[in-house]
Structure 1
Amino acid sequence: MESILFVLFTLGILVWLVFLLDALIGLRNLASLEKEPELNTGPLLSVIVAARNEEKQIKASILSQLKQTYKEVEWILVNDRSTDNTGIIMNELLKEDPRIQVIHINELPKGWLGKNHALYKGALQASGKWILFTDADVKYKKEAFAKALYYFEKHQLDHLTAAPNLHANRFWLKSFVAFFLFGFSYFKRPWMANNPKSKIGTGIGAFNLVSQKAYEAFGTHEKIKMRPDDDLQLGMKMKRAGYRQRIVTALHLIEVEWYGSLKEAFIGLEKNTFAGLNYRISMVFFSIFGVFVTNVLPFLTIFSANKTIALLSLGNIVTSGILYVVIIKRMTVFSPAMFVVLPITALLFIYSIIRASFLTFKRGGIVWRGTTYRLSELREKD
């Protein structure tokens, strides 16, 4: 066993060092949107907001958008079969500003996920040079659109995505969100979207800004109509297709409460965890093993009587800790001190993977916003 641990931890340190070097290089090219000038006037921006049962969030989100300093904007609010007061609130917002349009969807066509279909229907009505896909629970500072459009035009982009501040109120929720972003960052390497030579792309549901020309040429949301991780897939597939893309941070311009509690986080991750692992059991086991060996085991074996194993465990903790600090300080407003509970949050993340994968198989698919999507359909359209 000690020989196996020796190999695992030696390789672990080397892998962490590679990840750290990659992150340090990549994050140098990650701009902060707050530092950009504003575009004061220009062509029309179409903002598409799809919502299903978002009565608690949507009004505050849209009102924050109506205060934007960039005025050439139209909003297309899409009510996706809501069973609460979302549609009524949208109709009330319609009276707030003549730039708002509302679309009510009553039926979901076969072969579509609800949100993807709603975004697609909204985009069909868009008249702007640019289209911003955003969620119904996102709040914006008044200069957010103007700064994003300036950056978009300055770099002549086809797609721009922005990392928002993921607001969380409770310590364990914050630590879980921080671990998720940490793991996502070193697994998906989102900063590579800023490298024009790389095919690695990314997308974030809070803020996916595209040129209408590129979006239509790419194939619209029809290309990803059965992907529960539509925001990520839109960015990944557009970059892979050769479109010019960048990611920025907007931690003080855009804010979203990702989930209100750990329980909500576990439920929310049901829909896209298995999709993110390409619907493969082998990837589920690999992910569980990888997270445990890299983020839990060293915190146990550091107390080993074997001094070599203890030192290698310490080496893994230190190198992963440096990477954690680098990513968390750059990509979030959370305290890097949450690294002290990393093994616990890693175990919580392992639980979320097991839970989501088990429920997906038990149900034969995913249940998202009250609609069931069969696993056979999801795999077929992947």
Structure 2
Amino acid sequence: MTVLAALALALALLPAALALANLGALRRRATGAPAPDGLVSILIPARNEAANIRPTLAAALASTGIPIEVIVADDHSTDGTAAIVAEFAAHDPRLRLIAVPPLPAGWTGKNHACHVLGEVATGRHLLFIDADVRLAPHGAVSLAAAAAAAGAALVSGVPRQVTGTWGERLTVPMINFLLLGYLPIPLMRRLQDPALGAACGQLVMVEAESYRRIGGHGAIRGSLHDGVRLPRVFRRAGLTTDLVAASSLATCRMYTDFSQAWAGFSKNAHEGLATPRALPVWTLLLGGGHVLPLLLVIAALLGAGPLPLAGAALALSLGTRAAITLATSEDPWTIPLHPLTVALALALQWNALLRPRRAGVATWKGRTYPAAQ
């Protein structure tokens, strides 16, 4: 038990140190200033988003500090999405509605819609947002400023995640925890290694010329995980990518209950953690650093192990989660449930890896097509 407790403490120390460095790095990043002629194209792929699109459009059109255009790609919606966008466009010439052509073979839906948007946009910077993302008025100009300050061809960040049910609260916080607890952002900024590239697909700004030079979303046409794949394509081309603290720049409610969250995170698991080589390592890192400490504390309280070491590991794990949660303005009531959140995340990844895989199981907004390998 003493050896296990020491291992748990060491595994909890790694994300604690990285989170400390990462949160400091994000705070220290200068904002700079965008070029005065820097039009930003806010690009929104939309498929059956009638329930979401009104506040998304209102927020995007309320952007300040930089000239914008807003383009919505209606991707064969069967609800009132197109009519709502057309209604807004009739009152604001900065907004355009375009229709997405039929989905070509080998493409996933979101990537195709984004690629079409990228081809018609006229801005110096292209800001891709999901249809459930609400930009703050200063969101677009702040991202353009961050890109200018970093000399980055791609800049991204995680919007403040809105969670309304406990099913969401137990799953969604893993986005920021994995990013800030396990990606060395200071190292990412020093090295061009594609493996260090990361983004949040909900909020991605790219420099238009560089984006088109690398092939746009066509370079990841078969992927369901643009947050992983797109920055790596940029980095392989020798371009700089960066991350910013974005909880004040936008908000997003990804899902509305546990079943949606489980299905949503499962669909791109094979391009993230759920690979035969990666998942055992992640199970050791996450399970050992955040689930094992709680089990060891329980065992110690029952007289079966050293409480000081186990307690220190658990305190470090929860402290790391608390620091990340508070810095990203997420729900603080989820902090004590952190071991369960990590256990659920690992269960989801193992389920995605081990369940029988059939051709055409990946989905986006009601479509099925072969998942990227």
Q: Same fold (TM over 0.5)?
A: yes
Q: 1:317 to 1:340 in 2, by over 3 A?
A: same
Give the Cα separation in 2 of the matches to 1:51 and 1:169.
22
Give the Cα separation in 2 of the matches to 1:196 and 1:42.
30
Look up the SS of the partner of 1:97 in the other structure.
coil
Structure 1 residue 284: Cα displacement:
4.1
Q: Is residue 163 of structure 2 the alignment partner of residue 168 of structure 1?
A: yes
Query: Does the 8 A contact of 1:58 with 1:137 survive in 2?
Result: yes
Structure 1 residue 293: Cα displacement:
3.4
Structure 1 residue 101: Cα displacement:
2.1
2:252 to 239, 256, 264: 256
Structure 2: give runs of 5+ residues left out of the alignment. Answer: none
Q: Is residue 289 of structure 2 the alignment partner of residue 294 of structure 1?
A: yes
Give the Cα separation in 2 of the matches to 1:31 and 1:292.
29
1:223 to 213, 216, 219: 219
Give the Cα separation in 1 of the matches to 2:101 and 2:222.
19
**What's the counterpart of residue 326 of structure 1?**
323
2:203 partner letter: F
Structure 1: give runs of 5+ residues left out of the alignment. Answer: none
Query: Does the 8 A contact of 1:47 with 1:76 survive in 2?
Result: yes
Give the Cα separation in 1 of the matches to 2:347 and 2:361.
19
**What's the counterpart of residue 317 of structure 1?**
314
Structure 1 residue 271: Cα displacement:
1.3
Q: 1:301 to 1:16 in 2, by over 3 A?
A: closer
Give the Cα separation in 1 of the matches to 2:175 and 2:3.
26
Give the Cα separation in 1 of the matches to 2:282 and 2:360.
21
TM-score, normalised to structure 1, is 0.86
Structure 1 residue 359: Cα displacement:
5.5
Give the Cα separation in 1 of the matches to 2:141 and 2:316.
39
Q: Is residue 78 of structure 2 the alignment partner of residue 80 of structure 1?
A: no
Query: Does the 8 A contact of 1:182 with 1:324 survive in 2?
Result: yes
Q: 1:269 to 1:168 in 2, by over 3 A?
A: same
Give the Cα separation in 2 of the matches to 1:7 and 1:112.
49
**What's the counterpart of residue 352 of structure 1?**
348
Q: Is residue 125 of structure 2 the alignment partner of residue 136 of structure 1?
A: no
Q: 1:42 to 1:342 in 2, by over 3 A?
A: same
Query: Does the 8 A contact of 1:144 with 1:254 survive in 2?
Result: yes
Task: Write out aligned runs for 1:83-102 (5 A).
Answer: 83-102=78-97
Look up the SS of the partner of 1:78 in the other structure.
strand
2:149 to 145, 149, 154: 154
- Highest RCO, 1 vs 2 (Cα 8 Å, sep ≥ 6): 2
Look up the SS of the partner of 1:118 in the other structure.
helix
Look up the SS of the partner of 1:43 in the other structure.
coil
**What's the counterpart of residue 99 of structure 2?**
104
TM-score, normalised to structure 2, is 0.88
Task: Write out aligned runs for 1:180-195 (5 A).
Answer: 180-189=175-184, 192-195=187-190
Give the Cα separation in 2 of the matches to 1:82 and 1:268.
19
Look up the SS of the partner of 1:252 in the other structure.
coil
Look up the SS of the partner of 1:21 in the other structure.
helix
Q: Deviations over 1:204-255 (max 9, x none)?
A: 1222111112112222111111110113321233234331222111222311
What is the number of equivalent residue pairs in this alignment? 370
Look up the SS of the partner of 1:345 in the other structure.
helix
Q: Deviations over 1:268-297 (max 9, x none)?
A: 1121112213x6345445544654333223
1:371 partner letter: R
